[in-house]
Amino acid sequence: MEIEAPAKINLYLNILGRRDDGYHEIDTLFEKISIRDTLVAELAGKKTNIVCRNPDVPTGPDSLLSRVIYLFNEKTGKVYNFTVELEKRIPVSAGMGGGSSDAAALLKAINGLTGFPLKMGDLLEISRELGADVPFFLHEASFAYGRERGDVIREVETSVDLWHIIVHPPFKVSTKSIYGRVSRFGLTKNSGVDKMFTAFLRENNVDGIAGNLHNDLQRITLEEFPALMEVLSELKKAGAKGTLMAGSGPAVFGIFDKKDAIQAKLGLDAIFPAKENWEVFVAGTYRAPGGSPGAKAAHMTQ
């Protein structure tokens, strides 16, 4: 079984407080984008084998993908083995949710390979153990709000398609380190920003979305990596309607008109060259194959 694992960006990310479990209470709007990994999974005999050619992706018994299979077997009460091959395109440790998306894709794939023994509620329980972003990727909607740790998901039905240029710099950021410094910068009060974005999404108001992008983590990451300020500036000069850092970074993005994105990318490729290990992508909103948002999730509950 082959399944796609799309990246995500956050169109806004507000940090509301610190939780007793060590995580932070957040309010965010996720968007899946068309940069995606591909995962192929099949039932195996006596042993599970996970392969990825990217050396930055763990595949051993303590890896996130191995933990997906362990928790699935624990929940079903069975001992299944699988062969898993992951083709990685989403940058690693970039704030784009690649590891979480891969975990959700594998969970959906192995549930399908074994005849759908688990319903959506069971899958969500497993996904919350795997990571705060994993439940979003388990849902099929292109846009969704994330609350609490980011793992309480409310899908948004919208036909809007956004176009982005994403710039990924040649360094990594520790999500744990960035969140660990949040209290120094204060916290956002919940201001009902979700209602504003819901209106923008329903009205296909791209300018409204682009003009209200916000990320509480951005100033923390910029303090540690001031080079990102130049990237944000160059995106604006290239014609971005709005710019923001993806998650905890270091990838940053701009929202563009579709007709301008390709030409803008050519200019940014020259400023942030691949030979110096920069990556520049054009990506649109990701739509799940096979029908309307939520269709596959509904199938899993049957």
Handedness of CA 257, 263, 265, 270 (dihedral sign): negative
Q: Is 8 a catalytic residue?
A: yes
Handedness of CA 64, 65, 67, 68 (dihedral sign): positive
Q: Which of 27, 37, 102, 133 is catalytic?
A: 133
The residue among 146, 150, 224 whose CA lies nearest residue 185 is 224
Distance between CA 127 and CA 105 in Å, rounded? 11
The residue among 24, 26, 1 whose CA lies nearest residue 12 is 26
Distance between CA 50 and CA 270 in Å, rounded? 37
First CA to last CA distance, the chain:
20
Q: Is 133 a catalytic residue?
A: yes
Q: How many CB atoms are located within 10 Å of the residue 260 CB?
A: 15
Indicate which residues carry an active-site annotation. Answer: 8, 133
